Amino acid sequence: MPSEGRCSQKVEKVGVGERNWRLTAQNEFGKAELSDTADLSKRVHMFAPNGVKALTVNARSVILQWDWTVQQYNILNITCQVHMSCGEITIIENVGVGLNCVVLNDLIPNWTYNVTVRCGTAQYFWKWSDWSKKVLFQTYGDDALDVWMQMEGNQIKIIWKMTQAKLSHGLIKGYEVIWRKTTEKQQHHRTNLAFNKQSFSLSLNSTKEYIVTVTARNINGSSTPSTITIPSLNPGMKITELQIS
């Protein structure tokens, strides 16, 4: 078929062993022949992964899963590549028998990814399959909190970074600050702050020890509380800055 430049032969059962092929091309100027020898079990051009989908999407990781349209692929040692487009192009390679899933780590929270997968045989690798259809998913926001506290006399100032959503916290809805004396287990004070606030000041008795807790709220809920103990100060002592952990 000159218009297609290719031909195919259906084989019911692929046996082990080499086979020979000869391609003959002919026109009015003459004839040319090409020959090839290969073991079909060692020269596999796989079909593209089918039905790729994103499972268990988290803030910084996702599980990709797909199906095989050819049953024999489940016994092959397969290597796969994932192409991720998110401003940068990253290729991650994995190997496994009948490989049909992969875990992607170190993703950006609250970020949209467009991914596609291709595979080939790990043993006797010949060529990659075509890329699968693209799958779109968005990672969840990460509610980790990055906060500092500065102390000047009896003034405690809490300061936090306004980080881009794609790099850290997702869509922050607001903050909650709770403080109490360490001697008062039940009694505490609480205040809620808007999402656009970058600091909060407290007037505390410098002769008393306090526990201050800061929590961020984003689209997925509340962060793990960040807690710091503000020590009581003897006359002449001065603490200028503490970091919440």
Q: What is the CATH number of domain 50-138?
A: 2.60.40.10
Burial class (CB in 10 A: 0-12, 13-18, 19+), 159: middle
Amino acid at 90: T
pLDDT exceeds cutoff 50 at 245: no
Class level of CATH domain 147-243: mainly beta
Amino acid at 210: Y
Domain layout of the chain by residue ranges:
50-138, 147-243
Q: Do domains 50-138 and 147-243 have the same CATH topology?
A: yes
Residues in the chain: 245
For 153-192, write each residue's pLDDT tens digit.
667 787 766 655 555 456 778 888 888 888 887 778 889 9
For 87-136, write each residue's pLDDT tens digit.
555 667 778 888 999 888 888 777 889 999 999 998 888 899 999 999 99
